[in-house]
């Protein structure tokens, strides 16, 4: 999963149902840095995109 997130330059590629679990799973398995980078991404597609 981490490899896939990095391939997409830390942008969301999940569907509606999988997105809420990303940060929890990444953090649980020791990838908190990736979770934060994904969460704070401001370009499309992301949570902070306007």
pTM of the predicted protein model: 0.88
pLDDT of residue 15: 86
> How does DSSP classify residue 20?
G
pLDDT tens sequence across 6-49 = 999 999 999 889 888 999 999 999 999 999 999 999 999 999 99
> How does DSSP classify residue 26?
H
CA angle 21/24/28 to nearest 5° reads: 135
Helix (H/G/I), strand (E/B), else coil: 7:
helix
Q: Are 19 and 10 in contact (CB under 8 A)?
A: no
- Distance, in Å, from the CA atom of 33 to the CA atom of 13, rounded to the nearest integer, reads 18
pLDDT of residue 50: 87
């Amino acid at each position: 999963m981490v490899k896939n997130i990095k391939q997409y330059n830390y942008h969301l590629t999940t569907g509606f149902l999988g997105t809420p679990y990303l940060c929890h799973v990444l953090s649980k398995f020791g990838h908190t840095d990736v979770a934060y980078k994904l969460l704070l991404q401001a370009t499309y597609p992301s949570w902070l995109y306007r």
